[in-house]
Every structure is written in structure tokens, then in C-alpha cells.
């Protein structure tokens, strides 16, 4: 079912708390990247993040540092890579493990995440029937959002 997006402050606080509950250290750069993802109106690429955070910090942040940070955040389930766009967005349900179902608008680039337990059960049943172990679960659906269709 579609869920509403929480405020960037609430989302950031929840994501940081989730990382800490999982025993992950939240460095200033990790918090800054996560905060930028939560505040962004659309998914951001690593170089966009690097430029934005470098400007805010008043010093150059390296692209490899941004990529390592994004990998960390994705590994801990608080950020999601939109593979078709090579961009990243904050996970809106970081508190528990779930399949990310992303609707990505081809017109404006906006992405919306939903959580759908029925779909997760279907995918799990199909994987089990195949003897398949799922390691990475991101489903991207591209099209045009309601705002752009109007």
C-alpha cells in the first residue's frame, strides 16, 4: 500500500536511529549524505551529492568518499539506489527489512516508494519454489507521475 512520506527531519532521525540499532556508526559524512537524500525533492546522483555537500562544507569531498558512504547507507537499508537512474534516495521504511518498490517518473524524476506485503509474499513464494535466495530486492517501475500527467 502507498504510504505518505514523513518529514525530512523525522525521516533522518529514524534512519540514524535504525543505523545505530543495527550497530552501525553514523559519521558526520554519513549523516550529511542521508540528510541531503531526505531533503531532496528527487533522487540524487553521487556527483550531485558531492557538489552539494562540498559547497555546504566549504571543502572538497571526494567522489570515492561519497560512493563509499552511499554503499554503506544502502547496505544498512536507509538509502536505496535507483539503478535505472544511477541515483539514490532515502528509504522511507528503514526500520525493517522489506522489498523496495519504487515508482520513478520519467518526466520529473521524482520517485515514490511503497511497501506492499502481498507483493513481498508473492516474490518470496516464487523464490522459494525456485530454491532461490534473494539478496537484493529493489523493484523499479517507470512511467509518469500524477502531477506530470495533469
Are 113 and 105 in contact by the 8 Å Cβ rule? The answer is: no
- pLDDT value, residue 34: 95
Report percent pLDDT > 70 for the chain.
Answer: 94
pLDDT of residue 1: 39
CB half-sphere exposure, 120, CA atoms < 13 A:
13
State mean pLDDT over 44-64: 96
Distances (CA, A) of 11 to 2, 47, 51, 96, 132: 16, 23, 23, 14, 33
pLDDT, tens digit, 9 for 90 and up, residues 59-76? 999 999 999 999 999 988
**Which pTM does this prediction carry?**
0.84
Least confident of 34-43, 46-55, 130-139: 130-139
Q: What is the pLDDT of residue 99?
A: 72
Cβ(113)–Cβ(37) under 8 Å? no
**pLDDT at residue 2 greater than cutoff 80:** no
> What Å distances lie between residue 146 and 11, 72, 90, 106, CA to CA?
24, 32, 21, 12
Cell matching residue 65: 568518499
3-state secondary structure (DSSP) of residue 59: coil
What's the confidence (pLDDT) of residue 88?
95
Q: For 1-150, where are the E strands, in sequence order?
A: 79-82, 87-90, 100-105, 111-114, 138-143
pLDDT band at 141 (very low <50, low <70, confident <90, very high): very high
Please provide residue 107's backbone torsions phi and psi, each rounded to the nearest 5 degrees: -85, -55
Mean pLDDT of 82-100: 83
- Evaluate if residue 96 carries a pLDDT over 90: no
For residue 98, pLDDT over 90 is answered with: no
pLDDT digits (tens, 9 = 90+) for 80-89: 999 989 999 9
Amino acid at each position: 500500500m502507498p504510504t505518505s512520506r514523513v518529514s525530512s527531519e523525522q525521516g533522518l532521525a529514524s534512519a540514524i536511529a535504525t543505523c545505530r540499532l543495527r550497530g552501525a556508526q553514523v559519521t558526520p559524512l554519513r549523516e550529511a549524505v542521508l540528510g541531503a537524500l531526505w531533503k531532496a525533492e528527487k533522487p540524487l546522483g553521487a556527483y550531485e551529492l558531492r557538489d552539494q555537500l562540498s559547497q555546504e562544507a566549504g571543502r572538497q569531498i571526494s567522489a570515492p568518499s561519497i560512493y563509499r558512504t552511499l554503499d554503506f547507507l544502502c547496505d544498512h537499508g536507509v538509502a536505496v539506489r535507483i539503478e535505472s537512474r544511477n541515483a539514490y534516495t532515502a528509504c522511507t521504511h528503514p526500520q525493517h527489512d522489506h522489498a523496495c518498490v519504487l515508482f520513478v517518473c520519467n518526466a520529473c524524476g521524482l520517485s515514490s516508494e511503497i511497501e506492499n506485503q502481498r507483493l513481498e509474499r508473492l516474490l518470496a513464494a516464487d523464490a522459494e519454489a525456485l530454491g532461490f535466495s534473494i539478496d537484493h530486492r529493489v523493484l523499479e517501475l517507470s512511467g509518469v507521475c500524477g502531477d506530470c500527467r495533469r
